Amino acid sequence: MDRFALAMQHRYACKAFDPARKLSDQEFAKILEYGRLSPSSFGMEPWRFIVVTGQETKEALRPLCWNQKQITTCSHLLIIVADSGVVQDESYIQAMFARRGLPADATAAYIERYKSFLAQQDVACWVQKQCYIAAANMMTGAAHHGIDSCPIEGFEKEKVEAFFALAPHQKVALLIAFGYCAMERPQKRRLDLEKLIIQRR
Ligand SMILES: Cc1cc2nc3c(=O)[nH]c(=O)nc-3n(C[C@H](O)[C@H](O)[C@H](O)COP(=O)(O)O)c2cc1C
């Protein structure tokens, strides 16, 4: 099996981590880098990351997250924040497109296309979609290094956003707990590929 396939097989949603086994800062930096390098629509990188390692903070968050064990047993808890403010901020837009180094007229045309695209989007939803791409890359990348994870949507959104005092344009897309799992690896259950293919000629 190739290394990517091995990582895909290794990754599963860990429900309880070994609280005694922590990731080093260097290990976690690699995971953040996989998020940073992820693709995003128009290259707008609308994700922002909060990293929680303190036990007290994890304990305080757990009741807001369906009391899930992953929150307090993991090594690093990542909160992926979707920022719909930056993608509509004129100076951010200019800077993100200018860095492509295109001629001025091409940059202006590109920005115009972007703005008309954005006008047709549910922006809060669009930025969240980008966050899930980063999330997937971070989990698979972690698995490549034998690090376990659990994506978490089971949380009280408004309470978690208030907990971190996020700005109104910043919403929590999802949480990911990282660490080393303390449970048996469950069998992978997936639909067969033929059930996923919609045949067209
Ligand atoms: C966006 C997302 C949110 C999830 N939220 C939770 C969660 O809150 N708690 C949990 O235990 N598992 C959660 N899961 C894990 C899924 O239940 C799990 O990925 C799925 O059952 C497939 O199992 P596997 O990941 O172990 O292969 C979530 C998965 C995704 C992708």
Q: How far is CA 106 from CA 61, 92, 101, 110, in A?
A: 46, 17, 10, 6
Tell me: the pLDDT tens digits for 142-178?
Answer: 999 999 999 999 999 999 999 999 999 999 999 999 9
Give distance in angstroms: CA of 130 to centre of ligand 1.
18
Mutate to test the pocket of ligand 1, among 133, 153, 190 (most ligand atoms within 8 A of CB): 153
Sketch out the chain's domains with CATH numbers. 3-196 (3.40.109.10)
154 lines ligand 1 (CB under 6 A): yes
**d(CA 123, ligand 1 centre) in Å:** 25
Global confidence as pTM: 0.97
Rounded Cα distance, 66 and 150, in Å: 14
CB 177 near ligand 1, within 6 Å = no
Exposed/middle/buried for residue 167 (C-beta within 10 Å: 0-12, 13-18, 19+): exposed
Task: Categorize the per-residue pLDDT at 20 as very low, low, confident or very high, splitting at 50, 70 and 90.
Answer: very high
| Nearest Cα residue to 111 out of 130, 127, 96, 131 | 96
Give the pLDDT confidence of 51-71 residue by residue, as tens digits.
Answer: 999 999 999 999 999 999 999
As a whole number of angstroms, the distance between CA 17 and CA 71 comes to 9
**107 Cβ contact partners less than 8 Å away, ≥ 6 residues apart:** 97, 98, 100
Do residues 67 and 61 lie in contact, with contact meaning Cβ atoms separated by under 8 Å?
no
49: enclosing H helix or E strand: strand 47-52
For the Cβ of 157 lying below 6 angstroms from any atom of ligand 1, the answer is no
Quick one: which of 44, 13, 32 has its CA closest to 138?
32
